[in-house]
Amino acid sequence: MQLHKHDVVAKAASILDNYGIADLTMRRLARELDVTPGALYWHFASKQELLGAVADHVLAPACADQPAAGWRHRIEIVCRALRDALLSHTDGAELVSASVAAGRSEAMALILSQLGAAAVEAGMDPGQAALAARSIVYYVLGFTADEQSRLQWDAAGVDVPEPSPTENPSTRFAFGLQLLTYGIGAEIDAGARLR
């Protein structure tokens, strides 16, 4: 049976979920697909390109059309969807961070444009809005990667103390995000006073 990109990405995602990113190697992936490592290079130019495809697969659920709402709420919805998507796969945040840092991920470009559009609606000019969108993504990726690595230490029996154990991760996530949306509001107010 012929190998298709989709099958390769799906199998890669299953290795990711069951064994983590360290075990997601070209040779192992080939073995589980009952194929020779070289076969993968007919479909993908490099491991980096393959990981990019897996990243887009992970991000797909966060790319669904968002319901109409005020800019602040839209940002919260996109960011929650992004975090949920990352958390739903082992090492999801690490994988996506690496793919975003390296070659561009199409899915992340879409998410950035959704966040940017919300910032424009809030009253920012396009340049500021693009930067605000990127800042938000840095926060979500950083927070979630951190959260996910703590989860893994936890599962391994090592318990690392949470900085503030009173609130759960979702509440803490929302609080940090609020800092950024408040900042966007304040930035616009400050800009308006100068005009």
Partner DNA sequence: ACCTGAACACCGTTCAAGT
CA distances from 174 to 76, 121, 164, 182 (A): 8, 21, 14, 12
Residues 6+ apart with CB under 8 A from 31: none
Kindly determine how many residues on this chain lie close enough to bind a copy of itself according to the rule CB under 8 A.
39
Q: Tell me the two tokens of residue 91.
A: 């090492």
What is the per-residue binding string for a copy of itself in 148-167, x denoting contact by CB under 8 A? -x-------------xx-xx
Residue choice 5, 131, 154, 170 for contact with a copy of itself (CB under 8 A): 131
Q: Where are the beta strands (DSSP E) in the chain?
A: none
Contact in structure between 90 and 155 (CB atoms under 8 Å):
no
Q: Tell me the two tokens of residue 102.
A: 């390296």
Residue choice 134, 151, 154, 170 for contact with a copy of itself (CB under 8 A): 134
142 near a copy of itself, rule: CB under 8 A = yes
Query: Segment 95-124, which members bind a copy of itself (CB under 8 A)?
Result: 97, 101-102
Residue choice 17, 23, 106, 146 for contact with a copy of itself (CB under 8 A): 146
Residues 159 and 150: their CA atoms lie apart, in Å, by 8
Residue 103 beta carbon to DNA: minimum distance, rounded to whole angstroms:
12
Residue 184 beta carbon to a copy of itself: minimum distance, rounded to whole angstroms:
6
145 near a copy of itself, rule: CB under 8 A = yes
